[in-house]
Amino acid sequence: MSPSASKIDRRLGSARGISSGMTAIDWSTDGQFVQVDTKEHMKEVFHVSSGGLIEDPTSTSSITWTSWTSVLGPEVLGMWPVGSSKFKVDINTVHVPHCGGALVAGDDLGSVNLFKSFPLKDCPASSIKYFGHSAVITCVRFTSDDEYLLSTGGEDSCIFVWKTVDDNFP
- Greatest alpha-carbon pair distance for the chain in Å reads 50
Using the Cα atoms of residue 111, residue 115, residue 118 and residue 119 in order, give the sign of their dihedral.
Answer: negative
pLDDT in tens, 7-47: 777 777 777 778 789 999 999 999 999 999 998 889 999 99
The answer to whether 77 touches 122, Cβ cutoff 8 Å, is no
Residue 3 has pLDDT above 80, yes or no: no
Check residue 75 and give its pLDDT: 92
Per-residue pLDDT averaged across 92-118, rounded? 94
C-alpha to C-alpha distance for 70 and 22, rounded to whole angstroms: 11
Report whether pLDDT(2) > 70. no
Average pLDDT over residues 56-77: 91
The CB-based long-range contact list for 47-53 (8 Å cut-off, 24+ gap) reads 48/12, 48/13, 49/12, 49/13, 50/13, 51/13, 51/14, 51/15, 51/16, 52/16, 53/15, 53/16, 53/17
CB 153 within 8 A of CB 169: no
Share of the chain above pLDDT 90, in %: 59
Q: How confident is the model at residue 87, as a pLDDT?
A: 47
| Residue type, position 47, single letter | H
pLDDT band at 153 (very low <50, low <70, confident <90, very high): very high
Tell me the C-alpha distance between 105 and 90, whole Å. Answer: 10
